[in-house]
Amino acid sequence: MEAHRSLKEREIIGIIPARYGSTRFPGKPLADLGGMPVIQHVYQRVSKSVLLSKVVVATDDERIYDCVHGFGGSAVMTPESCQSGTDRAAHAAEGTQADIIINIQGDEPFIEPDAVDLAGRILLENHQARMGTLIAPLKDTESLMNDHIAKVIVNGKNEAVYFSRHPIPFLRDHKTEDWIRHFPFFRHVGIYSYTKEFLLEFSRWGPCPLEEAERLEQLRALYHGIAIHTAMTAYDGLGIDIPSDLERARTTLISRHSERTR
């Protein structure tokens, strides 16, 4: 059966959804970061993954499509009607022969290739798993209270119980500012792995009420009773969600360059 094919036999591709019309930051994939567009940073780092046989950008905008092909990458056009990045990834995956799809956020210019591989290994090492993702420890109260950062709680089998923009769980016996010292909170790191068959099924379901309430597409799987298997990563993400994040990313890029040239 396909699920029991060896690691070498199973084809794994990485898909990077990227749209131009972001509400909070229009044109984000093409924003300049150290002389390269954000999407090129993401593409080049993802391409260093050991597991991926191919990387492709899935976009609804010809400017992004042309940009990716301009730096030698691979891109496909997807309908503007796609409701989410996962739906865009599903459209791009439909015509491929891949067994596993890894969906990487297009606004993570410092994504670690090892994190991409870790997401893939969740499915390679658990033949029953249909969807996986990564989590990382939350280290400070500011991040815990930041509604741009999705929080997650997991069960004893490392399956996600729920994701929320609100801090979860609620610690009844402690002041909010002390929560981080009394419980191991986790953030969601937006890298997903799916079997191709499940990704297409996920997309056919369409948005669910929980997903629309929190604006977190992964809740669609939980709503339909599908286990999301998680793995812990040291990479806690440095995504670009709003324009001020781009300035932070520029500072980080300069700092990393300085460290390499010492």
- The tens digit of pLDDT for each residue in 118-148 reads 999 999 999 999 999 999 999 999 999 999 8
Query: Residue 130's pLDDT is what?
Result: 98
DSSP 205: H
pLDDT classification of 2: cutoffs 50, 70, 90: very low
34 domain residue, yes or no: yes
Report which of residues 82 and 9 the model is more confident about: 82
User: What average pLDDT does the segment 163-172 reach?
Assistant: 98
pLDDT classification of 1: cutoffs 50, 70, 90: very low
22 domain residue, yes or no: yes
CATH number of the structural domain spanning residue 50: 3.90.550.10
Query: Residue 236's pLDDT is what?
Result: 75
User: What average pLDDT does the segment 106-128 reach?
Assistant: 96
Q: For residue 241, how many other CB atoms are within 10 A of its CB?
A: 16
**Using one digit for the tens of pLDDT, what is the confidence trace for 5-44?**
555 578 999 999 999 988 888 999 999 999 999 999 999 9
Q: Which domain holds residue 210?
A: 7-256
User: What average pLDDT does the segment 153-168 reach?
Assistant: 98
2 domain residue, yes or no: no
User: What average pLDDT does the segment 195-219 reach?
Assistant: 96
Query: In Å, how far are 6, 99, 100, 127, 251 from 3, measured between CA atoms?
Result: 9, 9, 10, 6, 44
User: What average pLDDT does the segment 157-173 reach?
Assistant: 98
Q: Quick check: 164 pLDDT over 90?
A: yes
pLDDT classification of 175: cutoffs 50, 70, 90: very high
50 domain residue, yes or no: yes
Q: Chain centroid to CA 168: how far?
A: 20
Q: Quick check: 93 pLDDT over 60?
A: yes
Q: Quick check: 206 pLDDT over 70?
A: yes
Residue 78 and residue 228: Cα distance in Å, rounded?
Answer: 26
200 domain residue, yes or no: yes
pLDDT classification of 201: cutoffs 50, 70, 90: very high
Contact between 229 and 131 under an 8 Å Cβ cutoff? The reply is: yes
262 domain residue, yes or no: no
**Using one digit for the tens of pLDDT, what is the confidence trace for 234-257?**
997 788 888 889 999 999 998 887
Residues 6+ apart with CB under 8 A from 176: 141, 145, 167
Provide the domain count of the chain: 1
